[in-house]
Amino acid sequence: MLSLKELYETCSSCRKCPLGDTRNNMVFGEGNIRGKLVFIGEAPGYDEDMSGRPFVGKAGQLLEKGLSALDLKRDRDYYICNILKCRPPQNRTPLEEEAKACLPYLRNQIIIMKPKIIVALGATSLKYIFGEEFRITRDRGKWIERNGFLMTATFHPSAVLRDESKKKPFWEDLKEINKRYREIK
Ligand code: URA
């Protein structure tokens, strides 16, 4: 097990998959590592790759708007990261082998941070965090307890940007996440 600093350095020079050659910046994650609430997205996009920061593009701004309305702040209440730490070309869905190469880093981060609540954002995150048998439209908003973590999933904010009808359930999910977070705090 590496410390967060060691892990950050390892990820910065990682070449375990070809995305290491095409990235501009590795996107490690950001927020309060002691916040007890962790959001996990899919992979960095253009803005994230350019800045080295997660969820700073349009999708990130939508998520941030919802969370701020609930007085949930990145630097105080939660940490946010992704299944992959490097951007796939044209933002395509992560390949199985990319996820397999990258997931041990995420597991190491989670073990260090010991969050109480883990939120998967979107289908890819749900698949790798919960398991293959889960489906985002069917299972979002449900809560399970596993390995001492309370876990749930909601739509990826970029899916919400594409499809208006996802806005309301997304908002309902964020409100429930906030409620549970206040309870455990
Ligand atoms: N989408 C993601 O899944 N993660 C990001 O960091 C940005 C967009």
Q: What is the mean pLDDT of each run of 10 residues along the chain (185 residues)?
A: 96 98 98 98 98 98 98 98 98 98 98 98 98 98 97 98 98 98 95
Q: Is the CB of 43 under 6 A from ligand 1?
A: yes
Nearest ligand 1 atom to alpha carbon 157 = 1
Report H helices in the chain.
Answer: 4-12, 19-22, 46-51, 58-69, 96-113, 122-129, 136-139, 157-162, 167-184
Predicted confidence at residue 63, as pLDDT, reads 98
Q: Is the CB of 41 under 6 A from ligand 1?
A: yes
First to last CA, the chain: 27
Q: Cβ(150)–Cβ(117) under 8 Å?
A: yes
Predicted confidence at residue 1, as pLDDT, reads 86
Q: Is the CB of 42 under 6 A from ligand 1?
A: yes
Mutate to test the pocket of ligand 1, among 78, 90, 125, 158 (most ligand atoms within 8 A of CB): 158
Q: Is the CB of 173 under 6 A from ligand 1?
A: no
151-161 pLDDT, tens digit per residue, is: 999 999 999 99
**CA-wise closest residue to 116 among 87, 83, 149:** 149
Ligand 1 centre and the CA of 27: distance in Å? Answer: 10
Nearest ligand 1 atom to alpha carbon 59 = 8
Predicted confidence at residue 185, as pLDDT, reads 86
Ligand 1 centre and the CA of 137: distance in Å? Answer: 19
Whether the model clears a pTM of 0.75, i.e. scores above it, the answer is yes
Predicted confidence at residue 150, as pLDDT, reads 98
Q: Which residues of 87-106 are buried (b: 16+ CB within 10 A; e: fewer)?
A: bbeeeeebeeebbebbeebb
